[in-house]
Amino acid sequence: MINFRKKITNMDSVFAVQKNIRENLLRVLDSHSLEQLNKIPEKFSNNIIWNIAHCAATQQALVYKLSGLPTQLPEEFIMKYRKGAKPEGDLSQQEVDEIRELLLTTSRQIEEDFKNNVFVQYQEYPTSVGFTLRNIEEALNFNNYHEGMHLGIIMSIRKFV
């Protein structure tokens, strides 16, 4: 018997997970009002939209910066949503729409760049949760873990907005 199913590589799976997480983030964006996205519930230090923007910013830092490549996002954006930062005020609908678009474009570009072998070097990076990233594959895998973790935080925040 011949198996006609396309062979799925490990990295195909990584990109499929990335796409699924981003689709979930987009559903959250599309199903909440601007007020809900900006609300910081009691006992939380940030809001839904900050967590979503943080995912985009962190992905760029983990994947492009540590590969010695220019990011697709401005440095100001990455700094505004870096680990340890907090919302500086409510975002406008235009800013939310821009973040929505970034979720789509950055994930597509990373997959394309990976397939085109753009990532040729990687600066080893010890994460705050005990993983040490040594190459682009580990960075992409870890980024999915990181975004999944923030998706969980977002789901918790949703209960209070």
pLDDT digits (tens, 9 = 90+) for 112-139: 999 999 999 999 999 999 999 999 999 9
- Give pLDDT tens digits for 57-116: 999 999 999 999 999 999 999 999 999 999 999 999 999 999 999 999 999 999 999 999
Type of residue at 106? T
Spatial distance between the Cα atoms of 89 and 24, rounded to a whole number of angstroms:
24
Structure tokens at 57: 């910013």
Query: Which tokens hold the place of 143?
Result: 């980024």
CB-based contact 139:59 (threshold 8 Å): no
Query: How far does CA 70 lie from the centroid of its chain?
Result: 17
Per CATH, the homologous superfamily of domain 10-158 is dinb family like domain (1.20.120.450)
Q: Measured on CA atoms in the order 70, 71, 76, 81, is the torsion positive or negative?
A: negative
* pLDDT tens string 9-25: 789 999 999 999 999 99
